[in-house]
């Protein structure tokens, strides 16, 4: 971590000039609790598809605005909706009966100095490119109906957004924590594994993967739903062999990230005696009735964690310049991770909450709360000073996040 110099002074009431509050709390960290639940909706889950589309459209609009005007104009595309289609999967290959309907919706700057901008074309192309890149078994020309209803933004919010002072466009908060527990790491890495290296060996596996973990004491139970692509599965025997091989591969991979015992169950709803299998034509459950919406899935760290502090704010699709619903969640995560890394084993958990106030500069939150759960005999005063410095630095440099978000270097779901 680079050496940094800070000039913020601490007020007499214990608050820093940027309203940074650092406190030690007495709380049993998640890793030491008896029970822990963690979930990740994979990239092909309908909610994650909605997140991915919303974010891809936002990034495309950002690049168009930058190319034309040298700055990112007001937009938010965080209301993307997916209406599931209908399909008839079967061993050896089925068919799509009704296409998936995808509605791209939100607000954007559609006109500048009397000139209309190609918002619809930009959004449709970005969404189509995203689907083609990530879902190889989906035929975008026949399996999907892409619709765009992105309209002009509110004058009030636009006037706030267009100021050069980068004022918060909402009163909202972002939440982050670090480090990840072993259970959280297992869940995150398991989905990435199935939708990564596994595909090279088991082409039968689709992209719609959901991983749910329950840790009780020293045992992690993984329940995984993984859609199978019917055209690559010859029959029931073939299907069962794939599930068995995938289960073994996942179990072998998961133990690389934990010392706990790991139990793996895949496609628990299958009933071989009754002929029930998780077969799909496209590898996506949204082909047959499953709907999706932005913000109903993973938080910015890629997980759903009911035992951790979380924000319900949807981050995908929000503009990356002044929308605190996006920036503050990403920033809180960044601050928490750096604080936890700085503290080494002395910091068991770092929790960060950032509260904005509409019309106030985004680098000057109304409240920046940092809570530390420390190991016994840790030096709180020393860690407090370092945590203040890290928080102060990232608030002052919040603008560094924007370029990385636009370039897709920071995941938001």
Q: Is 29 exposed, middle or buried (0-12, 13-18, 19+ CB in 10 A)?
A: middle
Q: Tell me which architecture the domain covering 46-161 has in CATH.
A: 2-Layer Sandwich (3.30)
What percentage of the chain has pLDDT greater than the value 90? 89
Q: Over the Cα atoms of the chain, what is R_g?
A: 23
Higher pLDDT, 321 or 115: 321
Work out the average pLDDT over 41-52: 98
Which pLDDT value is given to residue 248? 98
- Residue 123 clears pLDDT 80, i.e. is over it: yes
Model pLDDT for residues 190-231, shown as the tens digit of each residue: 999 999 999 999 999 999 999 999 999 999 999 999 999 999
Token pair of 307 as six digits: 């035992």
| Range(s) within the chain of domains with CATH label 3.30.300.10 | 46-161
Model pLDDT for residues 11-39, shown as the tens digit of each residue: 333 344 458 999 999 999 999 999 999 99
- Residue 3 clears pLDDT 60, i.e. is over it: no
Which pLDDT value is given to residue 52? 98
Which pLDDT value is given to residue 9? 37
- Residue 155 clears pLDDT 50, i.e. is over it: no
Q: Tell me which architecture the domain covering 20-29+169-180+299-406 has in CATH.
A: 2-Layer Sandwich (3.30)
Token pair of 64 as six digits: 């168009």
Helices (runs of H) and strands (runs of E) counted in the chain:
9, 18
144 CB-near residues (< 8 Å, 6+ apart): 99, 100, 101, 102, 131, 138
Which pLDDT value is given to residue 14? 38
How far is the C-alpha of 169 from the C-alpha of 73, rounded, in Å?
13
Work out the average pLDDT over 233-254: 98
Which pLDDT value is given to residue 156? 46
What percentage of the chain has pLDDT greater than the value 70? 92
182-293: which CATH number, 3.10.20.30, 3.40.190.10, 3.30.300.340, 3.20.20.70? 3.30.300.340
Mean pLDDT for all residues in the chain: 93
Reported confidence tier of residue 114, pLDDT bands at 50, 70, 90: confident
- Residue 323 clears pLDDT 60, i.e. is over it: yes
Which pLDDT value is given to residue 159? 55
Beta bridge partners of 355: 173, 367
| Range(s) within the chain of domains with CATH label 3.30.300.280 | 20-29+169-180+299-406
Which pLDDT value is given to residue 113? 86
How far is the C-alpha of 238 from the C-alpha of 202, rounded, in Å?
12
How far is the C-alpha of 206 from the C-alpha of 82, rounded, in Å?
18
- Residue 393 clears pLDDT 90, i.e. is over it: yes
Question: Could you give the angle at the alpha carbon of 381 between the alpha carbons of 324 and 176, nearest 5°?
Answer: 25
Reported confidence tier of residue 64, pLDDT bands at 50, 70, 90: very high
Model pLDDT for residues 276-319, shown as the tens digit of each residue: 999 999 999 999 989 999 999 999 999 999 999 999 999 999 99
Beta bridge partners of 261: 219
Which pLDDT value is given to residue 264? 98
Alpha-carbon dihedral of residues 234, 240, 245, 251, nearest 10 degrees?
Answer: 150
Work out the average pLDDT over 60-83: 95
């Amino acid at each position: 971590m680079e050496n940094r110099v800070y000039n913020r002074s601490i007020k007499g009431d214990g608050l820093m000039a940027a309203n940074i509050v650092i406190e030690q709390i007495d709380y049993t960290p998640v890793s030491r609790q008896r029970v822990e639940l963690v979930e990740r909706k994979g990239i092909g889950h309908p909610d994650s598809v909605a997140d991915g589309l919303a974010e891809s459209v936002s990034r495309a609009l950002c690049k168009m605005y930058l190319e034309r005007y040298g700055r990112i104009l007001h937009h938010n595309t965080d209301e993307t909706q997916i209406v599931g289609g209908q399909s008839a999967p079967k061993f050896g290959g089925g068919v799509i009966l009704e296409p998936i309907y995808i509605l791209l919706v939100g607000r954007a700057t559609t006109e500048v100095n009397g000139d209309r901008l190609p918002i619809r074309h930009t959004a449709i192309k970005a969404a189509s490119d995203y689907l083609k890149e990530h879902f190889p078994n989906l035929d975008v020309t026949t399996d999907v109906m892409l619709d765009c209803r992105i309209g002009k933004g509110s004058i009030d919010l636009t006037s706030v957004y267009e100021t050069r002072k980068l004022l918060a466009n909402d009163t909202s908060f972002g939440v982050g924590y670090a480090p990840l527990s072993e259970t959280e790491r297992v869940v995150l890495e398991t989905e990435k594994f199935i939708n990564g290296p596994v595909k090279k060996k088991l082409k039968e596996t689709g992209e719609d993967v959901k991983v749910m973990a329950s840790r009780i004491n020293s045992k992690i139970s993984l329940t995984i739903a993984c859609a199978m692509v019917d055209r690559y599965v010859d029959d029931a025997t073939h299907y069962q062999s794939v599930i068995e091989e995938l289960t073994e591969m996942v179990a072998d991979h998961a133990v690389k990230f934990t010392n706990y015992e790991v139990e793996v169950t895949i496609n628990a709803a299958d009933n071989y005696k009754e002929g029930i299998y998780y077969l799909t034509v496209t590898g996506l459950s949204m082909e047959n009735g499953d709907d999706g919406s932005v913000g109903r899935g993973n938080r910015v760290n890629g997980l759903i964690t009911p035992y951790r502090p979380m924000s319900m704010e949807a981050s995908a699709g929000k503009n990356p310049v002044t929308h605190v619903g996006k920036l503050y969640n990403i920033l809180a995560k960044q601050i928490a991770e750096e604080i936890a890394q700085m503290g080494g084993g002395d910091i068991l958990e770092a929790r960060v909450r950032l509260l904005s106030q509409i019309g106030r500069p985004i680098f000057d939150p109304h409240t920046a709360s940092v809570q530390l759960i420390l190991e016994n005999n840790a030096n709180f005063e020393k860690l407090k000073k370092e945590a203040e410095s890290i928080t102060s630095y990232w608030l002052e440099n919040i603008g560094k996040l924007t370029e990385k978000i636009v370039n897709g270097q920071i995941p938001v779901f």
